[in-house]
Chain A
Amino acid sequence: MNLAEKDQRGNSIFDLVDKMLNGSVRALGKLITLVEDECPGSLEALKKVYYNTKDAYVVGLTGAPGTGKSTLVDRIAVEIRRQGFKVGIIAIDPSSPFTGGAFLGDRVRMMNTSNDNDIYIRSMGTRGSLGGLSEATASTVKILDAFGKDFILIETAGTGQAEVDVIKETDTTVVVCVPGLGDEIQTMKAGVMEIGDIFVVNKADLRDADRLVGDIETMLNMGYGSKEWIPPIIKTIATDGSGVVALGEEIFNHRGYLIESGLLKSKKVKRIRQEIMEIAKNKIINKISNSSNEANQVSDELLNEIMLREKDPYTAAEEIVNNFSEIFQKSYV
């Protein structure tokens, strides 16, 4: 659907933005789809959306598959609602690397939030992204913000050790751990164990929960990024709600800390900087791959030359970039 093109009932993408801003959940859902599908016009719509955002607070939950992230998100959403804030939830699950299909099963766990009209839940496939989020996550946060959500919870796809993209999009990152997945050496590793502003030991009724708390504590005692904020470790049993009130409090504590220290603002500035570069990068890549100029194409002939060691891939890439810069200059100066 491009800007002029209308859907069956005469809605253009701008009509959708207006309806969304006026509170239509139907329009909100459709707009997110258009952005996710990267429909023509979605960038124009997002431009308009941006001017209606109000800096919603973004909380990310990450952790291994089956650690209880969805159930916790459900509980946290209720805690945040109790303070009177409106909540948007983005629940991400993996897309198949083979078919592109996905089984999005996070909603099944979100039973406490399903009758509250001030909570909106959206499930998303990673669609090829490897960092635990999907490419449309940042845009969806903005749409939910413009819609009027005060808090946005992002649940990543189940992560291992290295998928840390969630910190790029969130103000508070909650790392969810469960007992039984390894010894203290695992807590020493870089990556996911470094990014928590809050650590949760879920399924705290299982054996070894206290040992895991101790391991994380020891790791944090050896030094952490910040001296002012030492990440708290909260024991929870998400299925019965134990510990969730304390977790909710710590999220608000961390938010207070970020606001008072001025770090919230610098986080947002950093995020915008990253985002501009990301959008620009994607635009350039799209321009190169959509270019009709033959010199920009990776031809079978070129591939063959490289396979036969008549040329190397580095030179081939340089040629594409050099050639593209020339075209770029001609068309934009």
Chain B
Amino acid sequence: MSSEKKKLRVLISKLGLDGHDRGAKIIAKALRDAGMEVIFGGLRKTPQDITRIAIEEDVDVIGISLLSGAHETLLPELCQLLKENDARDIAVVAGGIIPRDDVPILKRAGVKAVFGPGATSKEIIKYIKSIGTNE
């Protein structure tokens, strides 16, 4: 895409059954302030919900916040659904409480990056911008 007006669109959402959305909100606000358009998906979304929103909104990146421990089930399912729906080019990035040992498993399933506790907004913004320009 060569347009100067190209704006990065990012879906920030919770996935699964945990109600802690403070992290997701902080990231959404940080990305907004970095000039991106953030579509906020809200709480308790299924992989199907996320796939549908991402495709309708044509986002470049999906940022998933997940603290329930169900990442090993839900994130691979999301990646699979994106593939099936002609949307494998939408990058999935995850954040929240995800044990280090699980990261390779998620990456093999198609998750592009995992940001755990301690990751700074700056790092995340830089990473998302790098994905956007690689497109």
Taking Cβ atoms with an 8 Å cutoff, the residues of A that contact B are: 1-2, 5, 7-9, 24-26, 29-30, 32-33, 36-40, 95-96, 99-105, 107-108, 114, 120-123, 125, 127
Contacts and interface: CB of A to CB of B under 8 A. Distances in A.
A96 B32 contact: yes
Interface centre among B38, B56, B85 (most CB of A within 10 A): B56
A36 to B, nearest CB: 8
A108 B3 contact: no
Interface residues of B, number: 33
B41 interface: yes
B58 A33 contact: yes
B34 A101 contact: yes
Q: Which of A95, A100, A123 has the most CB of B within 10 A?
A: A123
B2 A5 contact: yes
B70 interface: no
Nearest to A123: B39
Contact of A114 (B3, B32, B49): B49
Contact of B2 (A25, A36, A40, A122): A40
B30 to A, nearest CB: 10
B33 A37 contact: no
B53 interface: yes
A72 B29 CA distance: 25
Nearest to A89: B56
Given A33-B9, A40-B3, A101 B35 contact: yes
B102 interface: no
Of the listed residues A7, A39, A40, the one surrounded by the most CB atoms of chain B closer than 10 A to its CB is A39
Nearest to B30: A101
B90 to A, nearest CB: 10
Contacts of A125: 7, 37
B100 interface: no
Contacts, number: 92
Given A1-B1, A33-B58, A120-B56, A108 B41 contact: yes
Interface of B: 1-3, 5-7, 9, 28-29, 31-42, 49, 52-53, 55-58, 85-87, 89, 135
B35 A114 contact: no
B42 A108 contact: yes
A39 B35 contact: no
In this complex, the member of A7, A24, A29, A40 whose beta carbon has the largest number of chain B beta carbons within 10 angstroms is A29
Contacts of A37: 1, 3, 5-7
A43 to B, nearest CB: 13
B34 A99 contact: yes
Contacts of A9: 89
Contacts of B135: 8
6 contacts: A5-B2, A39-B3, A99-B34, A100-B7, A101-B37, A105-B40
A125 to B, nearest CB: 5
A104 B33 contact: no
Best-surrounded residue of A33, A101, A114 (most CB of chain B within 10 A): A101
Nearest to B2: A1
Contacts of A122: 56-57
Contacts of A123: 37, 39, 57
A123 B37 CA distance: 9
B3 A38 contact: yes
A107 B41 contact: yes
Given A37-B6, A99-B33, A107 B55 contact: no
